[in-house]
Amino acid sequence: MSDQDLFDARVLALPDPVRLEPSGRATHPPRILLLYGSLRERSYSRFTTEEAARILRRLGCEARVFDPRGLPLPDATDADHPKVQELRALSLWSEGQVWCSPERHGAVTGVMKSQIDWLPLSSGGVRPTQGRTLAVMQVSGGSQSFNAVNGLRLLGRWMRMITIPNQSSVAKAWQEFDEAGRMKPSAYYDRIVDVMEELVKFTLLTRDRSDYLVDRYSERRAAGRVLEGDRVAAAALHSAG
């Protein structure tokens, strides 16, 4: 059997630690978009999302919550619909996102999925989600479950996002909020604080490096981008090590 390489050596770039250190760091507050998956007047996913936004602002972030009311179903209208344009603009603005869905029939809700489905993988050469950080959360009416957050993780991977390890699942959510919609002190609340702290750290860690982190061999090859200089420099560094 031949051991000849199948990859194009002109396009292959060995990992370069130097490029993992950004030449400059952004100084503006981390920009976080939050999505929730229910239209109910007393929506526990919205309440949870609003608590997360409060925490993020205390952590120094600029946090914006998208209101899904009025967003059409995917493919029911053109993408120039005002709510679709609002959502896509917020996704482009963001450096990290929070997705919080109720669990319905063992999965995320249609409201949650519709928002994600309206975000294209690519639009005019720009990817509205690629390289952004993501935290996933869910609320349940019954006992503890992780079906929705597992589904959100799958969607985050599909959207080429950097999904953080931590997550939040609030069981029997109807018990966890007061009449004003504020969350009561609990281990569930503490976990949301944990998740938001981790999201901010990962966002600060990756936002100045995301272009390099998501630069792919297959896309370079398809575009005919030959990285001879980078490849040689990285190979020399690798040999020196």
Rounded to the nearest integer, the mean pLDDT of the chain is 89
Task: Give SS3 for 161.
Answer: coil
Q: Phi then psi for 64, rounded to 5 degrees?
A: -125, 130
pTM summary value: 0.88
Confidence of residue 198 (pLDDT cuts 50, 70, 90): very high
By the 8 A CB rule, do 100 and 138 touch? yes
* pLDDT higher than threshold 90 for residue 230: no
pLDDT tens digits, 54-111:
999 999 999 999 999 999 999 999 999 999 999 999 999 999 999 999 999 989 999 9
pLDDT tens digits, 106-131:
899 999 999 999 998 776 656 789 89
Tell me which amino acid residue 105 is: H
CA pair distance 7, 226, nearest whole angstrom: 13
CA pair distance 50, 67, nearest whole angstrom: 11
Q: How many residues does the chain have?
A: 241
Across the chain, the runs of DSSP E, i.e. the strands, are 31-36, 62-65, 96-102, 133-139, 162-163, 168-170
User: Could you give the C-alpha distances from 204 to 27, 185, 198, 201, in angstroms and in order?
Assistant: 10, 28, 10, 5
